[in-house]
Copies of this chain bind each other. A is one copy, B any other.
């Protein structure tokens, strides 16, 4: 077993050199005799020396650490992207020997003070923030603090900072166009809470696509729900209770679409036949719903790595405006969409009970 603490001092004593020579040898300074450097490196290996990062960072005046701000607003379980994002971020940071910190607060207010503390206490050199609000106080704070950051998503005005996003507006246009091609005209939309920019984007896509397809918006066809399946179920229920229920429903998230499918089935409609449903996210789990969910897939396998690269670039002093990346979502057709049934849609099957969690 290696003995407890292998510091520069110990190494230096062991080698009959000074701390400063050892440090420079290890850090690749060119003014060190190559023979000396080799001796130092070997000794460092033998003693299992690992430079104390705390001391190093204090000396450098750089925390070499970035923080991922965990989404706290909604059910975290409905956000399977988090683990994947963290892996990608971590991959990028580990190569530089930087650390990835988790920032977690219970409210936006707490989150602001967390950010302030992390920056002013010198613990963090940059942030990644997901799913921003239309007008996001966290972003304003980080700008005030002049702390580098990159946004996973965008806000209303996103010209001045680095971001990585998927084009939600275009994606929903794609979904509407697809439904129109299938003959649908009564197309409804279940949106996410409107404080989120992505909710706005997706809603805009819906509205724009209606116009482009010469359809007019039917009162009551736009519902808003929280991210959960229950939210989607309730909202879909409202749609079905309308005097003229829609023949197709687009949901702003897959979770909500799961709920919409449940609502349809429990009222005796066959999703994908009587009423089409299209989700948004591309959760792999959607392959297992009843019927399997047609959805707009977000290509987010690389989001974490891209965000990490962008943030490191910004920290290195590059212009954040040069790091803005918009990805496209694409339609994956499973079984929850289908051609319009020309006859009037009425529940024909007997109403089945579906089990849901309490």
Interface residues in chain A, defined as those with a beta carbon under 8 Å from any beta carbon in chain B:
1, 6, 48-55, 57-58, 63, 68, 70, 72, 76-77, 79-80, 82-84, 86-87, 89-91, 94, 99-105, 114, 116-117, 120-123, 144, 229, 258, 261-262, 284-285, 287-292, 332-335, 354-357
Contact = CB atoms under 8 A, between A and B. Distances in A.
A288 B285 CA distance: 10
Given A84-B77, A284-B357, A335-B355, A55 B58 contact: yes
Contact of A53 (B49, B50, B94, B123): B123
Contact of A50 (B58, B102, B120, B258): B120
Contacts of A101: 99-102
Given A289-B288, A292-B355, A335-B355, A144 B1 contact: yes
A121 B58 contact: no
A233 B321 CA distance: 47
A52 B84 contact: no
A7 to B, nearest CB: 10
Given A54-B63, A262-B288, A288-B289, 11 more contacts: A53-B121, A54-B57, A55-B58, A68-B102, A83-B83, A86-B104, A90-B104, A94-B114, A99-B101, A100-B104, A285-B285
9 contacts: A50-B121, A76-B84, A77-B84, A77-B284, A82-B83, A82-B86, A83-B83, A285-B285, A332-B357
A42 to B, nearest CB: 17
B63 A86 contact: no
A242 to B, nearest CB: 24
Given A104-B94, A284-B357, A86 B57 contact: no
Contacts of A100: 101-102, 104
A338 to B, nearest CB: 12
Among all A-B residue pairs, the 9 with the closest Cβ atoms: A290-B290, A90-B104, A50-B120, A50-B121, A82-B83, A100-B102, A334-B355, A258-B288, A53-B121
Contacts of A87: 70, 72, 76, 104
B121 A104 contact: no
A48 B120 CA distance: 8
A27 to B, nearest CB: 14
A284 B356 CA distance: 9
